[in-house]
């Protein structure tokens, strides 16, 4: 990945504004993947970060200075995105690299994660003719990046992608979940949610208090699984006795978050 990339964009560019909105609408897929990443013993993501606009008023001119920069180590409570700034600001003085920031979801401008594709090992004579190099990590999201790639020449795109060391694919076909083409059902549910069903059920049988414990934001296990869009684990939690009417500190139930994030597959279950 390119060292601390900072992007400046014309705020009046309708295509860039469209990219911002698309990133906000699809952020739930980023968080779903990131939430499972936190549970993996062996990390699966090569890159995972969110871009947001930071603003400061120029003391001399009074003009608003804006820089879009990346944060990582992301946490999401259903309303706000939190993380550490990984860029050194170019002009802004009110933030610096390493700052822990909290941003409303509607203020993010992009998100990006990347996963190295699994490759079947060659067998027999095919070993003699296959490349030993590993494929580049495949990028998901990156709407503003893809907008800028669309404006580049072929040579510029190649140079850009080499700097990032990521496979950005087709800027006209932006993917948001892993193996989206091969397994379109992954848009509805993360495969780990289905694969962990039995283990998750056993965990709740062994530790039933996990269903009622809440974090500093008042989020219970059911809230968190709903925010991440995990159909199977939500079903298992409800079957184990999770109370779907418990509100967070912001007064929101799991159903409220399902509707807010437009997890359509969860709404009927939480309404039932």
- Please state, as a whole number, how many other Cβ atoms lie within 10 Å of the Cβ of residue 152: 14
Two tokens at 198? 């039995």
Q: Please state which CATH class domain 188-271 belongs to.
A: mainly alpha
73/91 Cα distance (integer angstroms): 24
- Phi and psi, residue 179, nearest 5°: 55, 35
Which residue do the tokens 């709404």 mark? Answer: 267
Q: What is the mean pLDDT of residues 111-134?
A: 69
Q: What is the pTM of this model?
A: 0.90
pLDDT(138) > 90: yes
SS (H, E, C) the chain: CCCCCCECCCCCCHHHHHHHHHHHHHHHHHHHHHHHHCCCCCCCCCEEEEEEEEEEECCCCCCEEEEEEEEEEEEECCCEEEEEECCCCCCCCCCCCCCEEEEEHHHEEEEEEEECCCCCCCCCCHHHHCCCCCCCCEEEECHHHHHHHHCCCHHHHHHHHHHHCCECCCCCCCCCCCCCCCCHHHHCCCHHHHHCHHHHHHHHHHCHHHHCCCCCCCCCHHHHHHHCCCHHHHHHHHHCCCCCCCCCCCCCCHHHHHHHCCCCCCHHHHHC
pLDDT in tens, 4-57: 444 445 557 899 999 999 999 999 999 999 999 999 999 999 999 999 999 998
* Average pLDDT along the chain: 91
Two tokens at 57? 């008023």
- Name the residue ranges covered by the structural domains of the chain: 14-118+132-179, 188-271
pLDDT in tens, 249-258: 999 999 999 9
pLDDT at 60: 80
20: nearest Cα among 29, 10, 31: 10
Percent of the chain, pLDDT > 90? Answer: 83
Higher model confidence: residue 70 or residue 4? 70
Q: What is the mean pLDDT of residues 72-100?
A: 96
pLDDT in tens, 208-259: 999 999 999 999 999 999 999 999 999 999 999 999 999 999 999 999 999 9
Percent of the chain, pLDDT > 70? Answer: 90
Q: What is the mean pLDDT of residues 180-203?
A: 96
Among the ranges given (35-39, 107-111, 123-127, 257-261), the one the predictor scored with the smallest mean pLDDT: 123-127
50/48 Cα distance (integer angstroms): 7
Q: What is the mean pLDDT of residues 190-198?
A: 96
């Amino acid at each position: 990945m390119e060292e601390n990339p900072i992007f400046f964009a014309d705020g009046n560019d309708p295509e860039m504004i469209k990219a911002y909105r698309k990133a906000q609408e699809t952020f739930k897929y980023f968080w779903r993947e990131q939430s499972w990443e936190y549970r993996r013993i062996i990390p699966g993501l090569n890159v995972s970060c969110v871009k947001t606009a930071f603003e400061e008023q120029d003391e001399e001119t009074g003009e608003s200075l804006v820089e879009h920069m990346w944060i990582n180590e992301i946490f999401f409570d259903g309303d706000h995105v939190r993380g550490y700034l990984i860029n050194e600001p170019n002009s802004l003085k009110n933030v610096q690299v390493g700052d822990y920031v909290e941003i409303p979801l509607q203020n993010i401008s992009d998100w990006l994660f990347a996963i190295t594709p699994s490759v079947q090992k060659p067998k027999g004579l095919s070993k003699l003719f296959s490349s030993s190099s590993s494929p580049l990590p495949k990028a998901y999201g990156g709407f503003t990046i893809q907008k800028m790639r669309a404006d580049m020449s072929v040579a510029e795109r190649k140079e850009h992608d080499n700097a990032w060391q990521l496979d950005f694919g087709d800027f006209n076909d932006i993917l948001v979940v892993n193996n989206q083409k091969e397994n379109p059902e992954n848009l509805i549910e993360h495969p780990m949610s289905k694969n962990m069903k039995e283990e998750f059920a056993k965990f709740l049988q062994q530790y039933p208090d996990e269903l009622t414990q809440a974090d500093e934001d008042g989020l219970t296990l059911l809230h968190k699984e709903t925010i991440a869009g995990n159909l199977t684990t939500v079903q298992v939690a409800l079957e184990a006795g999770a109370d779907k009417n418990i509100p967070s500190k912001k007064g929101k139930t799991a159903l409220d978050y399902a509707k807010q994030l437009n997890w359509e597959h969860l709404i009927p279950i939480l309404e039932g």
